[in-house]
Chain A
Amino acid sequence: MKIIASYNIKGGVGKTATAVNLAYLSAREGNRTLIWDLDPQGAATYYFRVKPKVKGGTRALVAGHHDLDNLVKGTDFAGLDLLPADFSYRNMDLLLEDNKRPTKQLQKLLAPMAIAYDYVFLDCPPSISLVSENVFRASHALLVPMIPTTLSARTLDQLQEFLEGHDGLGKVNLMPFFSMVDRRKHLHVHLMETLPESFPTFLKASIPYASDVERMGLTRMPLPAYAPASNPITRAYEALWAEIKEGLARSRGG
């Protein structure tokens, strides 16, 4: 089981679209796939038409009172399940604090899912918190979608500083990539040329800005599920997914 997180300190960068669409592509290939919507806003949950509700709320979940498996909902797509968001996830930080090993609880909760799933995608809330630290420790790949702007570049620096400043996080498999790219904007083009130079693990695939992605809120399903196969955004996600799998295979080999 490989755990892949979609994360950024900033919001509104396409984290949820990334997690939802990649999870869909993974399942479409026949991988048993789970997506965990960790964001109390519940956007991924909404995309899959599931009610944002977890039995017993975050407290029972974090304490390990339920098997995660009992909280999982089947989506409308074969091989793709969802662990829904719950509004009480906003308190997850506080509840994690109460644990003996507060930064490893997520990893512990996910461990038993290894029999049932090949890939787990984590759709993470923005900001740096105890939840995100848990995510960093649990993940085999940390996807960081970023809009090619100066501010985004700063948050990537911040993230890297944070990872390097914490024991055991220096080796996190960081995979930043450009999201919501608008090639008509000079700044976007310029940053896309320069930024990857200072981040060797920067992925080559990027996701263009498109109203199709925004339409996911109306169709309430992953983009490749309703867009034709030739859709450029679908193609972009497919390229991204291929590159992530390559990266994972390399890190396993190395």
Chain B
Amino acid sequence: MNEFAQAYLVPDGTDLQGIKDAFEGRYSVTEDEPQELIRRFYDTFDWSLYQAGSLLEERGDGSQRELIWRDLHGEAPTLAWSTDRDPGFAADLPSIPEIDRLASLVGIRRLLPLLDVHSRLISWRLLNEDDKTVVRLELEQNRYVDKGRERQGPISVLLRLHGVKGYDEELQATARLLQQDLKLSLARAELLEEALAAAGRRALDYSSQLDFRLDPQRRADATAKEILLHLLNTIEVNIPGTRENLDSEFLHDLRVAVRRTRSALTQIKDVFAADLVERYKDAFGWLGEFTGPVRDLDVYLLDFNDFQSSLPEALRHHLEPLRDFIHAHYGAEQKALVAHLDSKRLRDLLRDWRAFLEAPVPEQSVVPNAMRPVKAVADERIWTMYRRVRKEGRAITPDSPPEDMHELRKSCKKLRYLIEFFDSLYPKQEVRQLVKLMKVLLDNLGNFQDLAVQADHLRDMAQRMRDETHASTDTLLTMGVLVGHLLEQQHRAREEFAQIFATFDSEGHQALFNALFAPAKRRRKGA
């Protein structure tokens, strides 16, 4: 029996007995005891399952819970398994090959309940002359319950048509009867989508990706506000999840939005008053700072298994005290983070910032770029920053100090953010190619720097573990091996830099940057 058979919409006010009567004469109809069903839908905060075209729902009747993962387009087989706990993280899912794909969609995020649908099910069985069931129908009276937002209400009544294997003719005939005689139409939306809409929500309402559709002629200051407002929304929407530490991506996305905010403030030059820029740059600097320590620990925990498996088997268990140490300090750091998140200072900052962003731009502005079309400002800024990246990168030799690499990374990040803010002003394919190119270069520079920082941090931690917990010699030595690995990888990143930068700086890529962003005069020359 296909669990997810065709569903028909039963319009409000339809006489249900009338539907049942329509079958009489052709079949006898028996009605089974009505049943109650609660479905709870799950997804990650950034809708990774829905985005991949699948739904995860839990069905329970109090004593048993079953998880059902199915493809919205019916392309992959539906999987169901019983469970005694919330889905949670990928590691909480059963480790069988079929479910691995689900685990990889979930990634490092946590599966969170979206909302519940409570249903009363009335089952009708159509019986032929031998009193054999040939078709099953399930009338589903549904209500959504959105516990988080304390909302609930009725949603569509559905009539689901289930075939019985080997009785296709009867199934087709019943489908015809529903459509032609009873004028029922197929339900187009998924139950979840309808429930979300009824609850005033919609799927895919969060993504950490930037996706602006900017008007090239719009004033630069107004456009900058639009970009910054989006980033502020991202910051705010991630605060509850960060507070509760539902998964590590809330904090991560929050921090990225903060970095982008600072970058937009300082890189979309001369659109706001200088003192305001300075003030908020510092304020968001503070936000970036107090969210740092927990993020550092998150990174360790996320990488921990990889760290461990990079070690010879005999050493691996010596690393466990490090995990314990991180966990032991995590609580205090998280508490400090929450205190900051709950502080008046942050509340005031976000409130004032929102007030500024939501206020209309002044009719006249003396700030030089404020009233210019955003496309012109974006062109100039990206071009300048590109040239800086090129200059700094070309100056790096095998003997350059790490600080030079660090400076280049900062410039690269600024360039990447600028391109991402303004990508809708440029041809899609070309911009995408450039962003990809930037990512490769940034990964290399990031590895070089982050690995060194991590090695330092690890050394620091070893010191503290020795002082605070009298960590064993074996553990400290094992951490030493890890530091060695990190420095080796860092060394490799340094060696690979020249090649990666050369690719970035190839003639073709230069021409592309030139064509997209260079001042008109130059662009003609280049063409």
Contact = CB atoms under 8 A, between A and B. Distances in A.
A78 B1 contact: yes
Interface stretch (A45-53, A136-144, A241-249): A45-53
Contact of A72 (B132, B133, B165): B165
A49 B164 contact: no
A79 to B, nearest CB: 9
B130 interface: yes
Contacts of A81: 165-166
B131 interface: yes
A72 B130 contact: no
Contacts of B356: none
A76 B165 contact: no
A76 B132 contact: yes
B167 A74 contact: yes
Given A72-B165, A72-B166, A74-B166, A51 B130 contact: yes
A10 interface: no
A104 interface: no
B132 A48 contact: yes
A81 B167 CA distance: 12
Nearest to A69: B165
Interface residues of B, number: 10
Contacts of B167: 73-74
Q: Which of B125, B130, B166 has the most CB of A within 10 A?
A: B166
Contacts of A50: 130, 132, 166
Interface residues of A, number: 12
A74 B163 CA distance: 9
Nearest to A48: B132
A73 B130 contact: no
A72 B163 CA distance: 13
Contacts of A73: 164-167
Contacts of A78: 1
A2 interface: no
B165 A49 contact: no
Contacts of B1: 74, 78
A49 B131 contact: yes
24 contacts: A48-B132, A49-B130, A49-B131, A49-B132, A50-B130, A50-B132, A51-B130, A71-B166, A72-B165, A72-B166, A73-B164, A73-B166, A74-B164, A74-B165, A74-B166, A74-B167, A76-B125, A76-B132, A76-B133, A78-B1, A81-B165, A81-B166, A220-B130, A220-B131
Interface of B: 1, 125, 130-133, 164-167
Given A74-B1, A74-B164, 8 more contacts: A49-B132, A50-B166, A72-B166, A73-B164, A73-B165, A73-B166, A81-B165, A220-B130
Which 8 residue pairs of A and B lie closest in terms of their CB atoms, listed nearest first? Answer: A73-B166, A74-B165, A49-B132, A74-B164, A49-B130, A76-B133, A72-B166, A72-B165
Interface of A: 48-51, 71-74, 76, 78, 81, 220
